């Protein structure tokens, strides 16, 4: 399917998006509503930043809006609302289902193999403690994962068995060397 998609001209894809089928109309309607909502949010965010609010916040939308306002002040082309919207959409698409599906498959595999499940559980508990003796809302530093080799192995095996991104339609135009750690 991916190979076929490479040969479908983009104008044809655009035409299919305009076909008068109820499902396509519904999709376009939802897309327009989401875009309008996002643009309103971005405009509001920029307005607040211009008023010097949200200084310390570093969530994605605030960072992008701040970058846009800062570029404008430095006489550079600011990021347009459309560009910010596209970046947000990319992160949303790239980050949500990938992580959710990987975690779900990992849990399914562990549930099906109770003996394996006990090992990462004991490892995490021995390092972070259990929910009874720790406020999980406090979170933990990323580097703590380095001290949990079994958990990392479980994550790697989950990614190997159920890769959330199993194929790409992008093709390298020339050979390259991927640096390994």
| Residues that bind ligand HEM in the complex, under the rule CB under 6 A | 90-91, 94-95, 98-99, 102, 164-165
Toward ligand HEM, which CB reaches closer, 102 or 117?
A: 102
Q: How far is the CB of 164 from ligand HEM (least distance, A)?
A: 4
First to last CA, the chain: 33
- Min dist CB 23 to ligand HEM, Å, is 26
Smallest distance, ligand HEM to C-beta of residue 52, A: 28
To ligand HEM, the closest distance from the beta carbon of 26 in angstroms equals: 26
Give the nearest distance from C-beta 127 to ligand HEM in angstroms. Answer: 22
Number of residues written out for the chain:
181
Residue recorded with tokens 């459309």: 82
- Burial (CB count within 10 angstroms: exposed 0-12, middle 13-18, buried 19+), residue 83: middle
Question: Cα(33)–Cα(27) distance, rounded to whole angstroms?
Answer: 10
Point out the residue whose Cβ comes nearest to ligand HEM. Answer: 95
Between 70 and 165, whose beta carbon lies closer to ligand HEM?
165
* Residue closer to ligand HEM, measured from CB, 74 or 168: 168
> Cβ 165 to ligand HEM, closest distance in Å?
4
Q: 143 or 167: whose CB is closer to ligand HEM? A: 167
Residues 6+ apart with CB under 8 A from 65: 42, 45, 46, 49, 84
For ligand HEM, the closer CB: 15 or 169: 169
- H or E, element range at 147: none
Indicate the SS3 state at residue 15: helix
Let me know: does 84 contact 72? Beta carbons within 8 Å. no
Q: Which is nearer to ligand HEM, 75 or 168 (CB)?
A: 168
CA distance 113 to 107: 10
């Amino acid at each position: 399917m991916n190979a076929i998609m490479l040969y479908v001209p983009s104008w044809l894809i655009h035409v299919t998006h305009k076909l008068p089928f109820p499902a396509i109309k519904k999709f376009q309607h939802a897309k327009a509503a989401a875009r309008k909502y996002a643009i309103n949010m971005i405009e509001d965010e920029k307005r607040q930043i211009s008023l010097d609010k949200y200084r310390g916040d570093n969530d994605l939308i605030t960072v992008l809006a701040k970058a846009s306002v800062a570029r404008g002040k430095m006489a550079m082309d600011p990021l347009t609302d459309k560009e910010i919207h596209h970046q947000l959409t990319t992160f949303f698409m790239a980050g949500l289902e990938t992580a959710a599906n990987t975690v779900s498959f990992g849990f399914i595999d562990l549930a099906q193999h109770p003996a394996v499940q006990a090992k990462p559980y004991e490892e995490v508990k021995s390092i972070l403690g259990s929910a009874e003796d720790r406020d999980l809302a406090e979170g933990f530093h990323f580097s703590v994962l380095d001290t949990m080799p079994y958990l990392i192995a479980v994550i790697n095996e989950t990614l190997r068995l159920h890769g959330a991104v199993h194929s790409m339609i992008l093709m390298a135009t020339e050979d390259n060397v991927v640096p390994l750690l």
